[in-house]
Amino acid sequence: MSGSTTEQQRFPVAAGILLGLGLGGFFDGIVLHQILQWHHMVTSAGYPADNLDNLRLNVLLDGVFHASTYLFTVTGLFILWRTARKPHFWWSNKLLFATILMGFGLFNLVEGAVNHHLLGLHHVNETAPRDQWIYWDVGFLIWGAVMLAFGWKLLRDGLKESPGEQ
């Protein structure tokens, strides 16, 4: 068997981060796009959901977005499953929660910075008055930064407890 015992015991941080990226995307797509209908993928990029053609385009792009979040989730589960099957694998709920939180926060930060601010494809709450969109967008970034920072702290604390990291 290749790899040292320490390598076999290490928690797969990438798996949790990928799961968090996927769950963050699912939350955004399901809650903000579908349930609350605050925005769709390109509603601020010249395709407001105010006619059937624009709505069809937005729903298609929302589907592509969901497919990518699905791929993040499946990849994270695959890495976690592959690692958990190794002998001497040390399971940690704290590390799993920490890394999922980090991935969710990273999703918010990247998606918010790129789609809301850099490209202006859509904004968090387009049902609010237009002059308030910035507050929703900045709040989304703050929420992501808090999740990332808290997840990072939990990860550091959890790694200190991990037999594979001592």
Residue spans of the domains in the chain: they are 8-161
pLDDT of residue 10: 82
What SS3 class is residue 36? coil
Give the per-residue pLDDT at 161: 83
Q: What's the mean pLDDT when you consider all of the chain?
A: 92
CA atoms of 138 and 68, how far apart (whole Å):
24
Using alpha carbons, list the distances in angstroms from residue 110 to 30, 48, 118, 121: 18, 23, 10, 13
Question: Under DSSP, is residue 11 helix (H, G, I), strand (E, B) or coil?
Answer: coil
Residue 121 confidence (pLDDT) above 70: yes
From residue 160, alpha-carbon distances to 25, 94, 165 in Å are 30, 11, 7
Residue ranges of alpha helices (H) inside 52-122 are 52-84, 93-111
Q: Examine the pLDDT at 106 and tell me if it is beyond 60.
A: yes
Q: Distance (Å, rounded) from C-alpha 69 to C-alpha 45? A: 22
Residue 165 has pLDDT above 70, yes or no: no
* The pLDDT value given to residue 166: 45
**pLDDT at residue 1 in the model:** 43
